[in-house]
Amino acid sequence: MAAIPSTFKAYEYQHFGDFLEQIKFNPAAEQKPVQPNEVKIKIFSASLNPIDYKIGLYASMILSTMASPEHPYRVGHDLSGKVVEVGSDVKD
């Protein structure tokens, strides 16, 4: 199996607000190590869900943390792909 790259492409909010003003393309988002209760997925296709743009508008009312350059909120949670790495606590 090929090595997992250290970066990936992502659309993300670094600050919440109007979707068209705040969403930015990051061609080199950093891969984080898989945590014990997580899986890493190689994404083949992703799409925007209405919640992706609504998060920008209403995040301050529904999220406990806000997006920042250090901790961006990434969009595209509707996806298809293949599991390529599994955390140590993942059972099924």
CA atoms of 76 and 10, how far apart (whole Å): 8
**Structural domain of residue 78, as residue ranges?**
7-86
DSSP collapsed to 3 states, 9-60:
EEEEECCCCCHHHHEEEEEEEECCCCCCCCEEEEEEEEECCHHHHHHHHHHH
- Assigned domain for 76 exists: yes
Give residue 84's pLDDT. Answer: 94
Overall number of domains in the chain:
1
Give residue 89's pLDDT. Answer: 98
- Assigned domain for 25 exists: yes
- Assigned domain for 52 exists: yes
Find the CATH number of the domain harbouring 64: 3.90.180.10
Give residue 1's pLDDT. Answer: 63
Tens place of pLDDT per residue across the chain (92 aa)? 678 899 999 999 998 888 889 899 999 999 999 999 999 999 999 998 998 888 888 887 887 788 888 999 999 889 999 999 999 999 98
pTM, whole model, 2 decimals? Answer: 0.79
- The residue behind tokens 């919640």 is 51
